[in-house]
Amino acid sequence: MAASLIQIEGVARRYGADVLFEDLSLDIAEGDKIGLIAKNGTGKSSLLDIVAGVGPPDDGSVVWRGDLRVGYLPQSPRFEGSLTVLEASTGGDKAPEQACREFLTRLKITDLSQPVGQLSGGQVKRVALAGILAREPQVLILDEPTNHLDIDIIEWMEGWLKRPSLTLLMVTHDRYFLDNVCNRIVELDQRRLYAYEGNYARYLERRAERLEAVSVAVERARNLLRTELEWMRRQPQARAHKAQYRIDAFYDLQERANVRREGDEDVRLEVGKAAYLGNKIFTAHDVCFSYGDKVIVNHLNYTFARYEKLGIVGDNGVGKTTLLRLLLGELQPTAGRFEVGQTVRWGYYSQQGMEFKPGKRVIDAVSDVAEEVYFDEKTHYTASQLLNLFLFDARDQQKFIETLSGGERRRLCLAVTLMGKPNFLVLDEPTNDLDIQTLEVLEQYLASFKGCVIIVSHDRFFMDRTVDHTFVMLGDGVIKDFPGNYSEYRAWQRAHSVGPGLGLADSRAAAPRQRYRAEQPRRLTYKEKRELETLTAEIEALTAEKESLDARFASGEPLPDADALARRYAELQTLLDEKETRWLELSDI
């Protein structure tokens, strides 16, 4: 039997009256590779802090074996900004310098004299990770280690962490990483820990069995409760002589029968119809972009198809986010142009997240965009309903945004983005810091989303579930197009024994065909031109009538014909929807 390295006994963490968890116990043995899974905001990072010795628990204890070497990578490591990369990594000669150099190079940090204050958050995390790995700890505690890492580095880390002598406790949303590295999964659920032997795939099977057993036990308790309830409802004098133990047993039974599992419901975000999306989405005409001498995009020609779902991969710093910002118009090409269809309604989820005014509550952030999002007559959500689908219950919706965890805040940003009812989603690293439950909701949404999608992500599982084909950005402006998801691309590479991007179609190769399509668009017929003119006039008249009714409804004056006015208002809305849709179809030609 493997030796015990860390013993966690009855630990608890509270913030005022809020209890994150309590009475948690876990034994970490030599060779364990444990993945910790839980919903955002339930205390994963707090538990890692306690185990790593960063702060004491409110109750209970954590005992390390006396000579244990532990390395801890928090979710957002911090260094003095004036330190160089090498100084921060070595930690004042606490780690061997040569080993730090090797790990920094492997993690693609090459300028070792650069001040840490000039680095991005992702680069700082890699500097911290290099220093931890160089110290050769016996136990590694990692909080979201794959965030901001290139996919090839993640694949390298999988092999490094599999070493039998290494013991691991980590939080990650990367399901392939969990599956390939872990031999135990521990779930923090309803303030309790549940341990499962095996990798992530085995955990899913065992968890389903546990929840089924819980459901059966709850149903059995409810059936028994009906009988006991009849007994308890009798007149007090009828049961005054009864045994007190049965009364106590009733309340225990009532508690067991009323178990409600938060987050285990079949959460499904129905999409309905997205905003109308015309045939013309966007076309890149010989687009180029550079930062000084660094070429990001070099003669990109591409026509985006209706309902296309594209993934973009490439090393950090190659220009993935820059390409997105060019498409969205936040940056202008140094040569060439993007032509975007008039019906495109962007929904942009940026890597940096969103800024919210201090004092705002969660519900305010979404209702400020819209009180209700209407997809079609069968599918519409209020702000509160949409938040509930993204795992914010009624209590969570009243929280102040500044009190949210990093994952909860990103989940809120995602809900705000979707509340705008976009028909073209642009998602830049959407999986960072999100819990697995939220990722599953998002994957289901994207699978049935009736619009276009571009995704930049290092999460291989997420990309495999959501994209049809992949742009591989190789640097120096070279973009290769692979007709499949990331795992299919990697399998193709291995089968053909080629380096990244070799043998793939260059985005410039399709230029003649794309240009031909762009230069010979279908034109409006004479009849369609007259129809467009008529529609313009009709829409103006209907809009004016609708605004007039809005003014009457808002005036507060008595309306004896209110029913007739309401019917006419509904007719106007329907007519406007129909005529505006047809106007958009014609104007898109």
How is residue 523 annotated by DSSP? Answer: P
- The candidate with the shortest Cα–Cα distance to 5, out of 31, 24, 23, 25, is 31
Predicted confidence (pLDDT) at residue 524 exceeds the cutoff of 50: yes
Provide the greatest CA pair distance for the chain.
94
- Pairing relation of β-strands 469-475 and 309-314? parallel
Euclidean distance between CA atoms 588 and 582, whole angstroms? 10
Q: How confident is the model at residue 520 (pLDDT cuts 50, 70, 90)?
A: very low
* Residue 151 and residue 460 in contact, taking contact as beta carbons nearer than 8 Å: yes
What is the DSSP-derived secondary structure letter of residue 115?
B
- pLDDT tens-digit readout, 459-494: 999 999 999 899 999 889 999 999 888 888 888 888
User: What pLDDT shows up at residue 277?
Assistant: 76
pLDDT in the model for residue 266: 46
Distance of CA 224 to the CA centre of its chain: 42
Average confidence (pLDDT) over 571-589:
76
- Alpha-carbon distances of 21 from 12, 189, 317, rounded to whole Å: 5, 9, 39
Q: How far from chain centre, in Å, is Cα 43? A: 18
> What's residue 85's pLDDT?
93
Q: Cβ neighbours of residue 372 under 8 Å, at least 6 residues apart?
A: 380, 381, 382, 383
Question: Tokens in use for 385?
Answer: 């309903």
- The Cα–Cα gap between 125 and 122 comes to 5
**Can you tell me the distance from the alpha carbon of 261 to that of 252, in angstroms, rounded to the nearest whole number?**
18
Phi, psi of 12 (to 5 degrees): -140, 150
What is the distance between the alpha carbons of residues 527 and 117, in angstroms, rounded to a whole number?
63
3-class secondary-structure state, position 333: coil
pLDDT value, residue 31: 94
Q: What confidence category does residue 58 fall into, taking pLDDT thresholds of 50, 70 and 90?
A: very high
Give the pLDDT band (50/70/90) at residue 325.
very high
Element (H, E) at 243: none
Identify which has the larger pLDDT, 153 or 235: 153
Between 124-133, 363-372, 507-516, the lowest mean confidence (pLDDT) is in: 507-516
Distance CA 22, CA 14 (A): 8
Percent of the chain with pLDDT over 90: 40
Eight-state DSSP code of residue 117: G
Buried b / exposed e across 294-326, counting CB within 10 Å, b at 16+?
ebbbbbbbbbbeeebbbbbbbbbbbbbbbbbbb
Q: Which two tokens stand for residue 176?
A: 């392939």
Predicted local confidence at residue 570, as pLDDT: 81
- Specify the pLDDT at position 531: 82
Concatenated DSSP letters of 527-542:
HHHHHHHHHHHHHHHH
Q: What confidence tier does 579 reach under pLDDT thresholds 50, 70, 90?
A: confident
pLDDT at 498: 58
CB count within 10 Å of CB 390 equals: 23
- Tens digits of per-residue pLDDT, 216-270? 665 665 666 556 555 555 545 444 444 555 455 545 545 555 554 444 444 455 5
**Residue 518 predicted with pLDDT over 80:** no
Q: 125-139, 371-385, 513-527, 571-585: which range is least confident on average? A: 513-527
pLDDT at 51: 96
Integer CA distances (angstroms), 406 to 40, 154, 179, 298, in order: 8, 22, 24, 36
Residues 452 and 277: beta-carbon distance below 8 Å? yes
pLDDT level of residue 523 (50, 70, 90 thresholds): low
d(C-alpha 38, C-alpha 186), whole Å? 9
Residue 383 pLDDT class (50, 70, 90 cuts): confident
| pLDDT at residue 26 tops 80 | yes
Residue 393's nearest CA partner among 362, 367, 371, 416 is 362
What are the two backbone dihedrals, phi and then psi, of residue 13, each rounded to the nearest 5 degrees?
-140, 125
> Can you tell me the distance from the alpha carbon of 411 to that of 389, in angstroms, rounded to the nearest whole number?
11
